[in-house]
Structure 1
Amino acid sequence: MAYVTTTPVARKGFADRLAFVKDVVLAAINQRRVYTRTVAELNSLTDRELSDLGISRLGITEIAREAAYGK
């Protein structure tokens, strides 16, 4: 008994590739916006407010990076 296996070839046109690149760029822009917004909001807090949250000024960028990009 013979079996035939076919594997579909994924052919993506230029428009599909362009849409993919657009999606990647928009995702990166959105992540950067989250990062900058988080840094700005945390920097606007006083040292007392940051202390109440358990955050030091040195940790703001790390917290923003985790918020935007994950661990």
Structure 2
Amino acid sequence: MTAITQNRTATDAGLRTRLTTAIQRMQDNRARRAIYRQTVRELNALTTRDLDDLGINRSMIAGLAHEAAWGPTR
């Protein structure tokens, strides 16, 4: 009976860890998507002249926002 109880406790702990990790990953992805959306919104609000001064073309906005949220691609 002790082996069954220990096995169940270990299984519960493993499940709890996986669930906690999944929740943390979802929260992290949600925060990154918010950074992406905010970056796109702010860059789209700039005039073409402002973007030119920064050396940014409008076609670069999505890539820059992705890099801001998830880091540079490898």
Residue 52 of structure 1 corresponds to: 53
What letter corresponds to residue 47 of structure 2 in structure 1? T
Q: Which residue of 1 aligns with 2:25?
A: 24
Give aligned pairs, total.
Answer: 61
Q: What residue identity is the alignment partner of 1:40?
A: R
TM-score of the superposed pair, with normalisation by structure 1: 0.79
CA distance, structure 1, for counterparts of residue 14 and residue 63 of structure 2: 39
Shift of residue 14, structure 1, vs aligned partner = 2.1
Q: Which 4+ residue blocks in structure 1 deviate beyond 3 angstroms?
A: none
Please report how far the alpha carbon of residue 13 of structure 1 lies from its aligned counterpart in structure 2 after TM superposition: 2.8
Q: Once the 2 structures are TM-superposed, how far is the Cα of residue 16 of structure 1 from its aligned partner? A: 1.8
Greater fraction of residues in helix:
2
